[in-house]
Chains A and B, each alone.
Chain A
Amino acid sequence: MDMYEQFIWSAYGATAILLVTLLAYSLFRYRIAQRQLDELVKNNREQGEKTSKVEKNS
């Protein structure tokens, strides 16, 4: 490499930072959404079980 090394590494570094950030952020949002959906499904199921128990008892 020559005197322009800093420009080359800056270009590769900027590319890596932007793409890794984009990928990580997308994965992070996916995980959060998936967790929220799982919790919602779990709560709905628990509530459904409670309601059916109350109906049976009455």
Chain B
Amino acid sequence: MHKFANPAQFTKIASRVLPWTSSFAAVCSLFGLYFGIFDSPADYQQGETVRIMYVHVPAAWMSLFIYSLMAAASASFLIWKHSLADIAARSLAPIGAAFTAITLITGALWGQPMWGTWWVWDARLTSVLVLFFLYLGYMALVNAFDDPEKGSKAAAGLALIGFVNVPIIKFSVDWWNTLHQPASLSRLDAPAIDISMLTPLLLMALGFKLLLISILIIKMRTILIEKRIEAKQLLKSG
């Protein structure tokens, strides 16, 4: 693992991986959208609004997954001082914030026709809102210091403390009495969802995951280039 944690090795692997991840992300998302919008049946209770699930649920999974990755990268940065881990965490934050925003927006758009309200202060919704603020807090903190090292350390600390919120979000529907429904897909071998609905859901989840890898690679390469520019300018001036 440590062998791959150097910028040159990363750039080499990333340039090979990027065309594949971006192409498969587009293919999976297009198939997911087709099956989700046109092919899957309407729900017997929720009717057509169930189609919001195909973007809301994968986006919610992504928001938790990205935060977990960000916390792992932050831990790796604090323990082993890997600069690439810090770059990964910095790049993951805006992507995670975007997916959390999608979760909140699509959730509100699903909540209005189903619950009769855009928002309720129940445990699941509130903890996801806290997750969104954690992402924003990370992005603000990482750029808040003149010394980038200090900013990275402070933000990594916040990411690790904020990780407490991840299991709270996951189990909030079991621990508290919430308006939000419990998990339908806790086990893939016995999901409480029909295969015709499971297929677009998993395709969209795969599409989002591949999109995450693609955007992450682009963002990390951008930061690496910016660091090279900074180093060259410093060398030139001094």
Contacts and interface: CB of A to CB of B under 8 A. Distances in A.
Contacts, number: 83
A54 interface: no
A52 interface: no
B232 to A, nearest CB: 5
Nearest to B22: A23
Residue among A11, A19, A26 facing the most chain B CB atoms (10 A cut-off): A11
A33 B225 contact: yes
A30 B113 contact: no
A7 B112 contact: yes
A14 B221 contact: no
A4 B106 CA distance: 13
Contacts of B42: 2
Nearest to A14: B105
Interface string A14-31: 110011001100110110
B1 to A, nearest CB: 25
A2 B110 contact: no
Given A8-B51, A37-B228, A26 B215 contact: yes
A4 B46 CA distance: 10
B94 interface: yes
7 contacts: A8-B49, A11-B105, A12-B37, A23-B211, A34-B225, A44-B232, A44-B236
